[in-house]
Each structure stands twice: as structure tokens, then as C-alpha cells.
């Protein structure tokens, strides 16, 4: 794992794409400084931080994609029920949630 426990995730403990990208970039910078100065421990620490950041970013993408899938399916269900029962409000709400889910999936693919 990473040599800096605070780089693992956000304060909430949930994976974050922003945090993951930041940690990845910081790890790359540490690795570069370690190479330039001959500090192998800094270089290794940078590699570990970079890998942890990449893993966090991937976990956040996977979570976002799954949430999008959930919204898309639930929205489709609500839309269909609204259409069958003549409830235009439910149908519209379902369509909006389905669209939101599709957008979430696309952003996290």
C-alpha cells in the first residue's frame, strides 16, 4: 500500500476520482524527485502512492458506473409503471432518472 495513509481515500472513506488522480500525480512527482536525487526510498514511496491513486480512481469509476446502472434501471421501471397506470408525473420522473443513470454510466466508463 501507500506510505502515506492519508492518501488512501477521501475523509469519507469513499473512493474519489479527484482524490485518486491527485494522489497518482503526487506519487509520480515523488517518484521523479526520488530518481533525480537518487533517493530510492522516495522513489519507491512515489510508486506506491501512484499505484494507490490509480486504484482509487478505478474504484470510484466502478462505483459511479454501478450507481448509474441502478438509476437507469429504477428510472426505466418507474417510467413503465407510470405509462401503464397513466401517471404522467411518475413516467416523467422515471424518464429523468433513467437519463441521469445513462449519463452517470457514460461519465464513468
The answer to whether residues 60 and 8 touch, using CB atoms and an 8 Å cutoff, is no
Q: Give the three-state DSSP class for 4.
A: coil
Mean pLDDT to the nearest integer, 83-96: 97
Selected residue with higher pLDDT from 74 and 6: 74
Mean pLDDT to the nearest integer, 4-17: 66
Q: Give the three-state DSSP class for 15.
A: coil
60: cell is: 470510484
The answer to whether residues 9 and 19 touch, using CB atoms and an 8 Å cutoff, is yes
Q: Which residue has the cell 474519489?
A: 16
Sketch the domain layout of the chain as residue ranges.
5-107
4 pLDDT higher than 80 = no
Band the pLDDT of 10: cuts 50, 70, 90. low
51 pLDDT higher than 70 = yes
Amino acid at each position: 500500500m501507500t506510505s502515506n495513509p492519508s492518501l488512501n481515500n477521501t475523509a469519507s472513506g469513499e473512493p474519489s476520482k479527484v482524490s485518486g488522480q491527485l494522489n497518482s500525480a503526487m506519487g509520480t512527482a515523488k517518484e521523479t524527485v526520488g530518481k533525480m536525487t537518487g533517493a530510492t526510498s522516495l522513489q519507491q514511496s512515489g510508486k506506491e502512492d501512484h499505484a494507490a491513486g490509480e486504484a482509487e480512481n478505478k474504484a470510484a469509476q466502478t462505483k459511479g458506473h454501478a450507481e448509474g446502472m441502478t438509476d437507469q434501471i429504477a428510472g426505466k421501471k418507474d417510467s413503465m409503471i407510470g405509462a401503464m397506470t397513466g401517471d404522467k408525473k411518475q413516467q416523467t420522473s422515471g424518464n429523468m432518472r433513467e437519463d441521469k443513470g445513462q449519463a452517470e454510466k457514460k461519465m464513468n466508463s
